[in-house]
């Protein structure tokens, strides 16, 4: 049960990390560069944010597969899932 919960929380953390990097790369950086709050040189960091976002999404999907593997422990508490 502990492994299930730990993997579930790690998956949630990776999803939040994915969403944050996508928000920075796809929304904040172009907006701040266009309004000249940030320099034009920072637009070169967008691919880095996209790469980190995609890799964190991949890690979240891996953690999801581990959660599904550990979900069998729930049968010890609830023998019928659809209650």
- 32-64: per-residue pLDDT in tens? 999 989 899 888 999 999 999 999 999 999 999
Structure tokens at 12: 């949630």
Query: In the chain, how many domains are there?
Result: 1
Q: Select from 75, 80, 74, 78 the least CA-distant residue to 3.
A: 74
State the Cα–Cα distance between residues 48 and 68, nearest whole angstrom: 30
Determine, yes or no, domain membership for 60. Answer: yes
Q: Which domain holds residue 69?
A: 2-76
Determine, yes or no, domain membership for 82. Answer: no
Determine, yes or no, domain membership for 83. Answer: no
pLDDT at 82: 67
Determine, yes or no, domain membership for 81. Answer: no
Determine, yes or no, domain membership for 34. Answer: yes
Determine, yes or no, domain membership for 51. Answer: yes
Determine, yes or no, domain membership for 33. Answer: yes
The residue ranking higher by pLDDT, 25 or 1, is 25
Determine, yes or no, domain membership for 31. Answer: yes
Structure tokens at 64: 């999801």
């Amino acid at each position: 049960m502990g492994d299930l919960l730990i993997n579930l929380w790690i998956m949630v953390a990776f999803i939040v990390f994915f969403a944050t990097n996508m928000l920075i790369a796809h929304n904040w950086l172009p907006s701040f560069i266009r309004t000249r709050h940030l320099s034009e040189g920072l637009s070169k960091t967008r691919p880095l944010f996209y790469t980190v976002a995609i890799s964190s999404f991949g890690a979240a999907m891996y953690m999801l597969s581990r959660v599904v593997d550990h979900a069998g422990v729930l049968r010890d508490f609830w023998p019928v899932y659809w209650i």
